[in-house]
A and B are shown apart, each in its own frame.
Chain A
């Protein structure tokens, strides 16, 4: 068999669809492919398997495996505009090598070595620029595919994929190109271009001055390329990937929440385990905390506090010393009473009536806001009722309003039904 460039290109041309299939399948496994799979594709496209080996389009490995040599990987990637994405380090190594060549160039005095260093630098920059462009294009293509989600991957996988790309490819790529980053290739290329710009006039040898002129123009061009790609990344690629991530997060969170609600309804999950958005709910403070005398009382206390001498508030002649405290004993008494009286169809009225009943037997007759609110606080002691009496209370707010006349305050409060929560 006559193997030369023309016959290889003829083969690739004749079996273009086969080559495309081979490339796509091999790409998924880092360009390694099992002999069996390879033979299947050959049979499907009626391609002689041996020719493939003779043209060295595939190379035999151990364990009945073949691989695509890197020269074909690069050529076919270019042909199909489909690039593999090795980790960011494979891009970053160019930044390091460009910087190294430049440092050497700055120090080198020997003309021939200067000539070689310039050539190496140009070819390194060239490779770097190609990789950057391919990678940006590939990331954009894959991100758009992820957005349209033709392969129907689920939302959690979408989050995972978008987060992985952002973290491992897009942001590092952006950093390496970023104008403001002092260690970016942009900064390195700018330094090289400035240096070459001076040397194209100052270097003692004519032919090397020409080399520097080439390096100057070349680095200027690549700087423009870098900026163009950097703009695509920061204005299009990164926002798109972030949006996919954010949309998938919202959707997957929303669906997970709905499924949680379903599980609670089916009794497979406790309602306490249900996450909820934390913000203030007005229903429990839906009464007016207002009294005409509040302002005057506050003023009186403020004035007294300003006086240098201490003062004691003494009960007036007709006033009975009020010794009622909502201490632990009182609290327990009311907690027990509440449990005994369940269900309570009007909680605030019950608070008032209970206080009235207790105080009737004492000299203290006035039911003021302080006492009333103390008793009302039982409404918020869900955990204590659960702990002490092993019951869970359910509060139902009725639309109806109730007026409670206290000694120092008139309250308009909602009618609350309190009962034991049936599980």
Chain B
């Protein structure tokens, strides 16, 4: 009996265990989709994690999150949504189709009405640039070669869904 793993097995496992989103345009996404039954069972049995496979991306879901990363990500994006709306821009359209300068983002966050919340997430001396690099490594954004501008990937959909869920819950509470 020989152990035969699907092609790109190493990349799939390594990327997902690093908390990276595998995007549709990546070569191993296709294999992951094709072998989804195997990988769903593999991650569940080996690590207790749920593999979430969507049309545009795949990621691992874990109940044991250390919350800091997701908190930072949500705070930053929430502040940006608030600021872009003040500028009269269509938030979703802007996030999905826009390109952003790292400097512009930093200025927006630091001068926002919610800058006190931004300071609370303690990016410390690492600064926004390092955090954006981490988002890039995880395929949530794509920094360009100069590292001065970036675009969001489809993984940002999770933020939209999250925000909508909060709004729906809030509305339901008000209607109670």
Chain A residues with CB under 8 Å of chain B are: 155-156, 159-160, 243, 246-258, 261-262, 265, 274-285, 298-299, 302-303, 305-306, 380, 395
A279 to B60 Cα, complex, angstroms: 6
A285 to B63 Cα, complex, angstroms: 14
By Cβ-Cβ distance, the 7 closest A-B pairs, closest first, are: A253-B163, A282-B19, A280-B60, A254-B78, A253-B166, A253-B167, A249-B167
Partner of B19, one of A247, A257, A279: A279
Of B33-41, B84-92, B145-153, the one touching chain A: B84-92
List of B residues within 8 angstroms of A380 by Cβ: 64
A281 to B70 Cα, complex, angstroms: 8
Identify which of residues 13-40 in chain B touch chain A, using a CB-to-CB cut-off of 8 Å.
Answer: 16-21
B57 to chain A, nearest CB (A): 10
B3 to chain A, nearest CB (A): 7
Identify which of residues 79-111 in chain B touch chain A, using a CB-to-CB cut-off of 8 Å.
Answer: 79, 81-82, 85, 90-92
Q: Is the CB of B114 within 8 A of A285?
A: no
- The chain B residue with its CB closest to the CB of A260 is B166
Chain B residues with CB under 8 Å of chain A are: 1, 3, 16-21, 49, 59-71, 73-75, 77-79, 81-82, 85, 90-92, 114, 116-117, 120, 138, 158-160, 162-168, 170-171, 174
Partner of A278, one of B20, B65, B160: B65
A256 to B164 Cα, complex, angstroms: 11
- Given A255-B78, A257-B74: A283 and B92 interface contact (C-beta under 8 Å): no
A-B contact count (CB 8 A): 144
- Given A255-B82, A265-B120, A306-B1: A247 and B91 interface contact (C-beta under 8 Å): yes
- Given A262-B117, A306-B1: A253 and B165 interface contact (C-beta under 8 Å): yes
A248 to B81 Cα, complex, angstroms: 11
- Given A156-B170, A280-B60: A253 and B164 interface contact (C-beta under 8 Å): yes
Q: Is the CB of A279 within 8 A of B59?
A: yes
Q: Is the CB of A159 within 8 A of B16?
A: no
A281 to B21 Cα, complex, angstroms: 11
Q: Is the CB of B69 within 8 A of A251?
A: no
List of B residues within 8 angstroms of A246 by Cβ: 92, 160, 164
List of A residues within 8 angstroms of B165 by Cβ: 253, 275
- Given A251-B85, A252-B170, A274-B71: A280 and B78 interface contact (C-beta under 8 Å): no
List of A residues within 8 angstroms of B158 by Cβ: 277, 279
- Given A258-B78, A261-B75: A281 and B164 interface contact (C-beta under 8 Å): no
A247 to B91 Cα, complex, angstroms: 7
Q: Is the CB of A249 within 8 A of B168?
A: yes
A394 to chain B, nearest CB (A): 11
Q: Is the CB of B166 within 8 A of A281?
A: no
Q: Is the CB of A283 within 8 A of B66?
A: yes
Majority SS at the chain A contact face: helix
- Given A247-B92, A277-B162, A279-B70: A252 and B62 interface contact (C-beta under 8 Å): no
Q: Is the CB of A281 within 8 A of B69?
A: yes
A249 to B92 Cα, complex, angstroms: 11
A380 to B1 Cα, complex, angstroms: 36
Q: Is the CB of B67 within 8 A of A276?
A: yes
Q: Is the CB of B166 within 8 A of A275?
A: yes
A262 to B79 Cα, complex, angstroms: 13
- The chain A residue with its CB closest to the CB of B119 is A265
List of B residues within 8 angstroms of A282 by Cβ: 17-20, 138
Q: Is the CB of B117 within 8 A of A276?
A: no
Q: Is the CB of A283 within 8 A of B3?
A: no
- Given A159-B167, A252-B170, A262-B117: A281 and B3 interface contact (C-beta under 8 Å): no
- The chain B residue with its CB closest to the CB of A262 is B117
B156 to chain A, nearest CB (A): 10
List of A residues within 8 angstroms of B116 by Cβ: 262
Q: Provide a sorted-by-A list of 28 A–B residue pairs whose CB atoms are within 8 angstroms.
A: A156-B167, A156-B174, A247-B92, A250-B81, A250-B164, A251-B163, A253-B164, A253-B167, A254-B77, A254-B78, A256-B167, A256-B170, A261-B117, A274-B67, A275-B165, A276-B71, A277-B70, A278-B65, A280-B17, A280-B19, A280-B49, A280-B65, A281-B19, A281-B68, A284-B64, A284-B66, A299-B3, A395-B66
Q: Is the CB of A247 within 8 A of B166?
A: no
Partner of A302, one of B3, B21, B75: B3
- The chain A residue with its CB closest to the CB of B85 is A251
List of A residues within 8 angstroms of B21 by Cβ: 279
A307 to chain B, nearest CB (A): 11
List of B residues within 8 angstroms of A160 by Cβ: 171
- Given A255-B78, A257-B74: A281 and B65 interface contact (C-beta under 8 Å): yes
- The chain B residue with its CB closest to the CB of A148 is B88
